[in-house]
Amino acid sequence: GESVGLHLPTLSVQEGDNSIINCAYSNSASDYFIWYKQESGKGPQFIIDIRSNMDKRQGQRVTVLLNKTVKHLSLQIAATQPGDSAVYFCAERANDYKLSFGAGTTVTVRA
Amino acid sequence: DGGITQSPKYLFRKEGQNVTLSCEQNLNHDAMYWYRQDPGQGLRLIYYSQIVNDFQKGDIAEGYSVSREKKESFPLTVTSAQKNPTAFYLCAGLTGIGGYTFGSGTRLTVV
């Protein structure tokens, strides 16, 4: 079946630098994408979303970019902080009721 | 506080024993979901329910059962048929914009 995947399982970034987390998806019919952040021992939390009719969306310190031509989604975190250390998942809406998740990227922020 | 409430946070199961994980919500979600997460892995769908008194199997339903007698409640039973139940279990509800709100999870360990 089609699935959402992430390019790298881990990312180490210096505090204060920008982080870029990538995700490739395979379902060209997906119309809605979400990034989640999961801290150790907790449930995933919504970060930002984007619909397929958009290329870019900005939040507080985060930006999501969508390239439908190559089926690529990315999350950019500006001025990465220690509290940004977590696992980040991308998700795509495959139909009205279900999301498909990638395996996640573990981000570690170095002091 | 509104949200998805999972209990208990930690649960221990003996070999051959059935255990039930609780998931309660006060967000008026119609659709609810159960996911399993293994260390370093993504989320795998166990069961989901779109409306009361209806539910469907996900990708890894064997050894699990659910019920949806009330809109607010979607308990998951891990049966003795599930041979490798040690994992982190997440319950989620579908929001109006198409994403999920997650609970804080239950960590199940076989002893």
pLDDT tens string A52-71: 999 999 999 999 999 999 99
Higher pLDDT, B88 or A95: B88
Q: Residue A11: which H helix or E strand, with range?
A: strand A10-14
**To the nearest whole percent, how much of chain B has pLDDT over 70?**
98
Query: Which residue type does B76 have?
Result: L
Give yes or no for A102 touching B (CB within 8 A).
Answer: yes
Q: Is A54 on the interface with B (CB under 8 A)?
A: no
Tell me how many helices (H) and strands (E) chain B has: 0, 11
A41 touches chain B (CB under 8 A): yes
Which amino acid belongs to residue A65? L
Give A-chain residues touching B101 at CB under 8 angstroms: 46
Distance CA(A90)–CA(A100), nearest Å, equals: 8
Q: What is the token pair recorded at A85?
A: 């250390």
Q: What is the pLDDT of residues B5-34, one digit of tens each?
A: 999 999 998 888 999 999 999 999 999 999
Q: Do A101 and B90 touch (CB under 8 A)?
A: no
Residue from the list A43, A45, A89 with its beta carbon closest to the beta carbon of B42? A89
**pLDDT tens digits, one per residue of B58-75:** 999 999 999 999 999 999
A 55-94 → B contacts, CB under 8 A: 89, 91, 93
State whether B99 and A91 contact (CB < 8 Å). yes
What is each CA distance from B31 to A10, A83, B74, B99, in whole angstroms?
A: 32, 31, 10, 11
Residues 6+ apart with CB under 8 A from B83: B63
Q: What integer pLDDT is reported at residue A8 of this predicted model?
A: 79
Total CB pairs under 8 A between chain A and B: 51
Interior/surface letters B17-49, b for 16+ CB within 10 angstroms, e for the rest: eebebbbbbeeebebbbbbbbeeeebbebbbbb
SS3 B68: coil
Q: Does A37 touch chain B (CB under 8 A)?
A: no
User: Is it the case that residue B2 has pLDDT exceeding 80?
Assistant: no
